[in-house]
Every structure is written in structure tokens, then in C-alpha cells.
Structure 1
Amino acid sequence: MSGQGSGGNVIAALCNIFFPGLGQLVQGRILSALIFAIIVFGGYALWFLLIPAIVAGIFHIWAIIDAAKYTPPRY
């Protein structure tokens, strides 16, 4: 991927809208994909407790923004 705003980042952000963590997985960041997916799905599963659902919503938005703004490290 060429960097922030590239087509790959847009695709990754769109993937995150439908499945949290998928965008990070598309970018090759497995650990962050797992963390986002576990927190978001766990929070949404506990929707009846309200606070975990709010935290999950915040992490869901964070995952989308993280995928859109990701720039790979330069070696």
C-alpha cells in the first residue's frame, strides 16, 4: 500500500464498516485485527448492558479510522 488515502486504505476502511477488524486483516495487521474484532463483537454481544455496547461502538469507529489512516512502516 502506498500510504494514507490510498485505494487500499479506502478498501480496508470499507471492510471495517461491515466486519470490524477485517480492514486491519486486509492490511496484514493480524494482532490489531483480532483485538478490534474481539472488543467490538464482545461489546455488541453484551448490548443489553449499555456500557459495553457504547465502548464497542467507539472501538468500531476507531477501527474504521485506524484502517483509513494507516501508513506502513518504512524500512
Structure 2
Amino acid sequence: MSEELQMSGQGSTGNVIAAVCSFFIPGLGQLVQGRFVAAGVQFVLASLLWIILLGWIIHLWSIIDAARWKPPLY
């Protein structure tokens, strides 16, 4: 397996940075990873749910999703 594929998987520096970004703004980590649809969905859901104090659920999901994401193998 090439080094590039090993560095872009779960636990890689890029995923840690993405998870930290999502900690501050839900969906920002997905945006950093180039996952525009996931970023938009998570940002909108978290924003809407924070109105009824349940946004923390989506916020937490956003952080975990950014940290665990593996790019597709082509």
C-alpha cells in the first residue's frame, strides 16, 4: 500500500485537523476534507437543532465523522 493511502486514513493528521475544525464549527472538518454535501448537511442540521438545544448531537456526530472518514480507494 502506498504511503499516501496510509496517511489519509483514520487517525491521520488530516483527519485530526478536520475533527478539530468540526469541534469549532459543525461541518467545517468535512469542508476541509472536500466533502461539501456532508459539510452542508451537518452545518444546517446542527444550526436548526441548536434552536431546541439538541444541536450538540449533530455537532458530536460531525466531529466523529471527520475523524473516522477514509477516502475512497480508486
* Structure 2 spans left out of the alignment, 5+ residues: 1-6
TM-score (norm 1): 0.85
Cα RMSD between the aligned structures? 1.0
1:38 aligns with 2:44: yes
* Structure 1 spans left out of the alignment, 5+ residues: 47-51
1:7 aligns with 2:13: yes
Question: What is the number of equivalent residue pairs in this alignment?
Answer: 68
> Which has a greater percent of helix?
1
Distance 1:34 1:17 in 2: 15
- Give the AA of the match of 2:28: L
Q: Residue 20 of structure 1: CA displacement?
A: 0.5
TM-score (norm 2): 0.86
Moved over 3 A (4+): none
